[in-house]
Structure 1
């Protein structure tokens, strides 16, 4: 039976939790862009990011709890679990990448960090649009479009990483190489996690439309 056939109230909780997770993804991406636009008071801004990460964890834990006690779910339990995890992972890697700025005492962001932040923010918006479409699946083409765009953005992040590493390895300072490589790779993995969300969208579309 397709998703559109389920209208019982208890089904709504999963979509509400997905939507809340997607909002937190967007808030974290917005904050990341703000950090690089106005690179001041980083400890306070990271505190705000950590608060978002905690909120994301709380939403994920609630989703898992609901899944454990719900007999009939609107989509497959595995799909709920995968989407919950993928959304939480996006938030976690935005958070951990931001934390690296403090750990490594980065004085100023470079063009590559700013590029990653832009890609992550665009992917976050696609995630929010895609998640909103899951409630009814009335417009699968919109969700497919989100998947395509997220995949394109992930490829763009791969290109940014390649250019960043190529530029980085021109330096002779091994400490700088270690620090920046770690930061770049964390933000690139955040885009990989966005692509994981898109993969779950695609799986749901195949099964339920």
Structure 2
């Protein structure tokens, strides 16, 4: 559903989700080529993306304040914008905590999780593209279901990694730091599912 004139909220949602995807790709690349000495640079790069995403979200809000008749309900625009932004924030949090805890080496299975997060964010991006035509789309539902499936995969990976963590070490510092990092990784997938859920609700209300 594209607007013929004025601010295009659907394109703005696509743009927001692109920031989430970029942040996820940086996270996975950082973990794959992990060097603790490079973390400050990667954190700075990630923060620039997160800051740009915040500005894009504020731009949506600024237009919404002046909008006479938005294409969908105002509350839905606000909620969806925030949910997409939360994905970017949660991905950034993973890198922030790895840097804050001064992690020197990455557990091998973490790469499975960051790859999954990248896939999840790519699916959200594709969902936002399809959302532009939500009243006529034949694939939107399948994209929502796929994100739900990826989130379930993330839950399973989280439980498996937590079990492996507590089976492999008794060191309290290592347990504390990696418990928190794994929680942050799992939250990224949860936030992606939150986006899919609000899209499903919007479609139901506007059908």
Please confirm whether the aligned pair reaches a TM-score higher than 0.5, indicating the same fold: yes
Of residues 108, 123, 128, the one that matches 1:126 is: 123
Distance 2:202 2:152 in 1: 23
Q: Check whether the contact 1:140–1:205 (CA below 8 A) recurs between aligned residues.
A: no
Distance 1:107 1:62 in 2: 38
Q: Check whether the contact 2:17–2:121 (CA below 8 A) recurs between aligned residues.
A: yes
- Shift, 1:16, TM fit: 2.4
Aligned residues: 204
Of residues 99, 105, 108, the one that matches 2:105 is: 108
Give the equivalent residue in structure 1 for 2:144.
Answer: 147
Tell whether 2:27 aligns with 1:9: no
Q: Which runs of 5+ in 2 are unaligned?
A: none
- Shift, 1:61, TM fit: 1.2
Q: Check whether the contact 2:11–2:132 (CA below 8 A) recurs between aligned residues.
A: no
Give the equivalent residue in structure 2 for 1:173.
Answer: 171
Q: Check whether the contact 2:23–2:49 (CA below 8 A) recurs between aligned residues.
A: yes
- Shift, 1:139, TM fit: 4.6
Tell whether 2:42 aligns with 1:45: yes
Q: Which runs of 5+ in 1 are unaligned?
A: none
Superposed CA deviations along residues 164-192 of structure 1, whole A, max 9, x for unmatched, are 11112222111111100100101111111
Distance 2:134 2:125 in 1: 14
Give the equivalent residue in structure 1 for 2:193.
Answer: 195
- Shift, 1:94, TM fit: 0.3
Superposed CA deviations along residues 141-162 of structure 1, whole A, max 9, x for unmatched, are 3221111111111111111110
Superposed CA deviations along residues 31-87 of structure 1, whole A, max 9, x for unmatched, are 111111111212111111111110111111111222122120011111111110110
- Shift, 1:138, TM fit: 5.4
Cα RMSD, aligned residues only: 1.5
Tell whether 2:33 aligns with 1:57: no
State the 4+ residue runs in structure 1 displaced beyond 3 angstroms: none
TM-score (norm 1): 0.92
TM-score (norm 2): 0.93
TM-aligned CA distance change 1:56 to 1:175, over 3 Å: same
Q: Check whether the contact 2:127–2:143 (CA below 8 A) recurs between aligned residues.
A: yes
